Structure 1
Amino acid sequence: MRAATLDDLQPLYEMAKLTGGGFTNLPPDRNSLSRKLERSDAAYARAGDEIVPETFVLVLENVETGQVRGTCQVFTAVGQNFPFYSYRITTLTQHSQELDRIVTAEMLSLTNDLGGCSEVGGLFLHPGERAGGLGLLLARSRYLFIAAHRRRFGDRILAELRGIIDERGGSPFWDAIGGKFFGMSFQEADEFNAVHGNQFIADLMPKHPVYIAMLDEAAKKVIGLPHPSGRAAMRMLENEGFSFQNYVDIFDGGPTMLAETDRVKSIADAHSGELESIALEKGEKALLATGSMADFRCCYGKRELRGEGVAIDARAADVLRVSPGDTVWSVGR
């Protein structure tokens, strides 16, 4: 794992075309991806620790071939330049004395409660590489990046999971709500959001709560469910301490997962220490990382904690380009 550069546009574009839609953070649009890489480049270059809205793009590189085979993103503070909208599932309970009946109704309320949270997203692994724990490396490298630059991130982190998309590329959730008001298909709305942002949601989406009972069955069944390809990602998030707190995506109804930053397992357990040796032969399997901002690199390797210091294996040291005396972040695999 390393910081993305402007030269990574083509491989990112090729991977974006493989996502199958509904992947707002990795649109198959060269101009959008180019602008994202430019913002990421500026974020890596900025000095100072204050929290401002920034995007960091990371890529997974095969160090033997030089090919980029995966990517992920970290956002410092969502909803600062533009509102960050979600639906929150709320409950209304009413009682009728005449009927002696209590009626409980679930509703979807449009909110921007999550503004100011940091976000992990944009995770995509090339279909030809989905083995050997590379997805875990992609996901957890983001937490070591956050741990190494903690002051640049908020007190809460969210992760949006893609919702259910049917075989036609449509969204039952969007068709039941957004499609009624916008006069465009899910794919059109998703592409527009990826390129232009979601201010049009604020302009046109109804502000009153939507009663879930009034939606069709196809829409009700998918609320809060991840796309089948995202189930493993949801389990990884849960293992890190994220939980579903009744927020869903306004486009496809996919779940938004939340966690307190300092309680995310890979951040709480991260160890930072001076590298004492690069000749370790036997040790604990771990994620290892080094470097600040644009120099950040992360890989799998072996470690041995030695008080405040750490020893790692020679192969990992070569990939990370570190030598004794450098600072290495690590967390057990």
Structure 2
Amino acid sequence: MSYVIRAARPDDLQHLYEMAKLTGGGFTNLPPERRALKAKLDRSADAFARADDTLVDELFVLMLEDTATGEVRGTCQLFTQVGQRHPFYSYRLGTLTQHSRELDRTFRAEMLALTTDLEGSAEVGGLFLHPGERAGGLGLLLARSRYLFIAAHRPRFADRILAELRGIIDEAGGSPFWDGLAGRFFGMNFQDADQFNGVHGHQFIADLMPKHPIYTAMLTETARAVIGLPHPSGRAAMRMLENEGFAFENYVDIFDGGPTMTARTDRVRTIAEAREARIVAIDSDGGEEALVATGHLTKFRCAFGQVRSVGDGIVLSTACAAALGVAEDDVVRHVARVL
């Protein structure tokens, strides 16, 4: 089978909706609500239609398609600059150190402070791969295609980039972090808040949450235990982010306490190591396993392929060339599959 990453289209709404129903909750960027998903596709269409290479608040949605059957099996999203329409809130986990002479003791208190430090960053998110396709590296293709898209449209993305990982959700679909902190202020369980959040965003949380720092010692033990931890299904994604150069710098999601990973955009490994080259030949005689991308905006496509360097150009594998719709003398961007 051959798979390709392509720009989302309006007729992908049903595909997105079917995938959204499989996420299991807490997946903010892919809510199982048609109106919210259509709004995402409309916003993405506007971004793809804008030809001006300037930095504004935009959303691009990409889809993973089986070229043999036309079935859509995954999706991912890119935000060019968050926090421009509404404040982008996070909790920053910090420590307050105090010393008592009388007791001759030093006390260190861990605190959560509401912050907009990450406002203005680009964001990669909304990655979902159909459960039946979680083999063969397709998750890697989805994740890293986003960086090749950024490389191809670099002026349209901020200089810092973040990725929010879903936090811990229990077997009943609840969030220990929500129950121990935010839920106390809203009279709303996590499932209801999750649904509202997916449609309307989490501005309502920021509006009603206390703005002063919160001592983690005042939270329940179950809430404290999950701060900064990814959902088990997100551990592999966290490792991929770390391989790309992202780091956890004590920022957590105000909704479920999941970790926020950050990096400098130009230092993301796939972006830094990607190279442009002209195709001098197409054959199936082998080469280095690579991710290969071509095209601008709606014509963007990305797939796995084999690449051999020949002088200043490359020889590209036949199947990859067919998936991308490229021929000799076309220019592609490629990066090694193994980091």
SS of corresponding position for 1:24: coil
Q: Which residue is 2:10 aligned to?
A: 6
1:182 is aligned to 186
Cross-structure match for 2:229:
225
Q: Measure, in 2, the Cα distance between the counterparts of 1:252 and 1:42.
A: 30
| Displacement after TM superposition at 1:193 (Å) | 1.5
CA distance in 1, matches of 2:278, 2:59: 28
For residue 278 of structure 1, give the secondary structure of its aligned residue in structure 2. Answer: strand
In structure 2, the residue matched to 1:320 is: 324
Identify which of 175, 191, 204 aligns with 1:200: 204
Identity %: 68
Q: Indicate conservation of the 8 Å contact 1:24/1:190, yes or no.
A: yes
Aligned AA (1:60): L
**1:307 Cα deviation (Å)?**
4.3
Contact 2:59 2:79 in 1 (8 A): yes
Alignment of 1:15 onto 2:19: yes
Match of 1:169 in 2: 173
SS of alignment partner, residue 231 of structure 1: helix
Q: Deviations over 1:28-76 (max 9, x none)?
A: 0001001100100110110111100000000100000100000000110
Structure 2: which amino acid aligns with 1:167?
E
Distance in 2 (CA, whole Å) between partners of 1:15 and 1:239 is 27
- Tell me the residue number matched to 1:262: 266
Shift of 1:277: 1.4
Q: Which residue type is aligned with residue 121 of structure 2? A: C
- The C-alpha deviation readout for 1:147-168, integer Å capped at 9, x for no partner, is 1111110111100000000111
Structure 2 residue identity aligned to 1:318? A
Q: Distance in 2 between matches of 1:116 and 1:203?
A: 19
Equivalent residue for 2:54, pick from 50, 53, 58: 50
SS in structure 2 of the partner of residue 207 of structure 1: coil
Instruction: Kindly state the Cα deviation for residue 183 of structure 1 after the two structures are TM-superposed.
Output: 1.0
Contact 1:280-1:311 at 8 Å conserved across structures: no
Residue number in structure 2 paired with 1:111: 115
Q: For residues 151 and 307 of structure 1, do their structure 2 counterparts lie closer, same or farther at Cα, with a shift above 3 Å needed? A: farther
Q: Name the CA distance, whole Å, in 2 between partners of 1:71 and 1:31.
A: 18
Q: Which amino acid aligns with 2:64?
A: L
CA apart distance, 1:314: 1.1
CA deviation map 1:175-227 (0-9, x unaligned): 11110111111111121121112221232110010101111110011000000
How far is 1:138 from its partner? 0.6
What TM-score do the two structures reach when normalised by structure 1?
A: 0.98
Q: Does 1:191 pair with 2:206? A: no
- Could you tell me which residue of structure 2 aligns to residue 34 of structure 1? 38
- 1:139 counterpart residue number: 143
- Residue of 287, 306, 309 corresponding to 2:310: 306
Name 2:300's counterpart in structure 1.
296
AA partner of residue 281 (structure 1) = D
Whole-Å Cα distance in 1 between the matches of residues 126 and 11 of structure 2? 18
Structure 1: runs of 5 or more not aligned? none
Equivalent position amino acid for 1:206 in 2: P
Provide, for residues 230-280 of structure 1, a one-character-per-residue CA deviation record: whole Å limited to 9, x for no partner: 000000000111010000000110000001111111000001122221125
Is structure 2 residue 132 aligned with structure 1 residue 121? no
Question: Does structure 1 conserve the Cα–Cα contact (< 8 Å) formed by 2:202 and 2:255?
Answer: no
The one-letter code matched in structure 1 to 2:194 is: D
RMSD, aligned α-carbons: 0.9
The number of residues matched between the two structures is 333
CA–CA distance in structure 2, aligned partners of residues 52 and 245 of structure 1: 25
Report SS of the residue matched to 2:283.
coil
Distance 1:70 1:328 in 2: 23
Does the 8 Å contact 1:310/1:328 carry over to 2?
Answer: no
Which residue of 1 is the match for residue 84 of structure 2?
80
* C-alpha displacement of 1:305: 2.6
303-312 or 201-210: bigger deviation? 303-312
**Could you say if the C-alpha distance between residues 307 and 102 of structure 1 is closer, same or farther in structure 2, counting changes exceeding 3 Å?**
farther
